[in-house]
């Protein structure tokens, strides 16, 4: 990886989003005949989770939000801002600020799905689910897979992400068929990808732009232990 490079820009407005600032910076670099800075982005609405940047030592910057929702008014005029890619072995750097987060995709592929029989299956909205349970499942489902939890963790653990994906299905009737198999397979894939272990510092949840709760990790552990015990009794 190339060392950090200092680039100055005089066209930054306080009303710009952080990604708009990078757009302007890249325009200036292109006009000078220099290579633009490569970075991930997509929806720019805080939904897709693509804008994975480590800003001044914090995932997504000084606020608990996505990078695309961060504005330059969060910094002082004349500040030098240090921008780095996610710091994790499981997220190899592709170029500049772009990292490969396909490890998350493989974790979901390992068990983040449900089986549905075709035919006269009742509509999901017609299945009675207590509001408290539905709310918990929805809260877990708000995870956008940005990777801030991994970047914030001193061990580069993916426990918060994986637990959110396991929780959202384990709490609902539709997720019961693969419930035990899901926990075992997704955790095994998480370990195979090279993510670190969880030491319960809470940095992951504190930096998560969607505020995913640590209670999901506790639920995932229960799901896993239950699956392992059941497997041993077969």
CA dist., res. 129 & res. 167, Å (int): 15
pLDDT number for residue 196: 96
Residue 59: pLDDT band by 50, 70, 90 thresholds?
A: very high
CA dist., res. 203 & res. 193, Å (int): 21
Structure token pair of residue 72 = 């330059």
pLDDT number for residue 4: 85
The label of the residue with tokens 């974790």 reads 107
Task: Please tell me the number of Cα atoms within 13 Å of 140 on its side-chain side.
Answer: 27
The label of the residue with tokens 């229960």 reads 222
pLDDT number for residue 124: 63
Cβ–Cβ < 8 Å for 107, 53: no
- CATH 3.30.200.20, domain 102-115+129-233, yes or no: no
Taking only the tens place, the pLDDT of each residue in 9-57 is: 989 999 999 999 999 999 999 999 999 999 999 999 999 999 999 999 9
Residue 125: pLDDT band by 50, 70, 90 thresholds?
A: low
The label of the residue with tokens 């489902």 reads 141
pLDDT number for residue 230: 82
Q: In the chain, how long is the greatest CA-to-CA distance?
A: 68
pLDDT number for residue 231: 73
The label of the residue with tokens 């089986």 reads 115
Residues in the chain: 234
Please check the confidence at residue 234 and state whether its pLDDT lies above 50: no
Q: Cβ–Cβ contacts within 10 Å for residue 174, how many?
A: 16
Query: Smallest Cα–Cα separation from 145: which of 36, 47, 18, 4?
Result: 47
Structure token pair of residue 228 = 């392992």
Give the pLDDT mean for 51-73.
96
pLDDT number for residue 129: 87
Give the pLDDT mean for 90-107.
97
Cβ–Cβ < 8 Å for 82, 67: no
CA dist., res. 120 & res. 159, Å (int): 37
| Rounded alpha-carbon distances, angstroms, from residue 33 to 27, 28, 97, 116, 179 | 10, 9, 20, 54, 54
**How many whole angstroms from its chain centre is CA 149?**
6
The label of the residue with tokens 């060392």 reads 3
């Amino acid at each position: 990886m190339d060392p950090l490079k200092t680039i100055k820009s005089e066209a930054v407005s306080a009303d710009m989003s952080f990604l708009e600032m990078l757009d302007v910076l890249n325009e200036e670099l292109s006009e000078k005949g220099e290579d633009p800075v490569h970075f991930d982005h997509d929806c720019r609405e805080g939904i897709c989770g693509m804008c994975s940047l480590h800003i001044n030592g914090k995932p997504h910057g000084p606020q608990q939000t996505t990078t695309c929702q961060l504005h330059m008014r969060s910094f002082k005029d004349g500040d030098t801002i240090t921008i780095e890619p996610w710091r994790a072995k499981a997220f190899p750097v592709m170029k500049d600020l772009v990292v490969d987060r396909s490890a998350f995709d493989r974790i979901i592929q390992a068990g983040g799905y449900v089986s549905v029989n075709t035919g006269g299956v009742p509509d999901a909205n017609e299945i009675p689910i207590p509001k408290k349970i539905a709310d918990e499942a929805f809260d877990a489902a708000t995870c956008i897979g940005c990777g801030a939890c991994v970047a914030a963790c001193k061990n580069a653990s993916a426990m918060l992400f994986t637990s959110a994906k396991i929780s959202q299905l384990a709490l609902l009737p539709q997720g019961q068929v693969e419930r035990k198999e899901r926990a075992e397979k997704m955790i095994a894939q998480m370990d195979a990808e090279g993510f670190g272990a969880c030491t319960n510092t809470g940095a992951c949840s504190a930096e998560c732009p969607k505020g995913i709760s640590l209670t999901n990790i506790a639920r995932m552990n229960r799901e896993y232990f239950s699956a392992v015990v059941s497997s041993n009794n077969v």
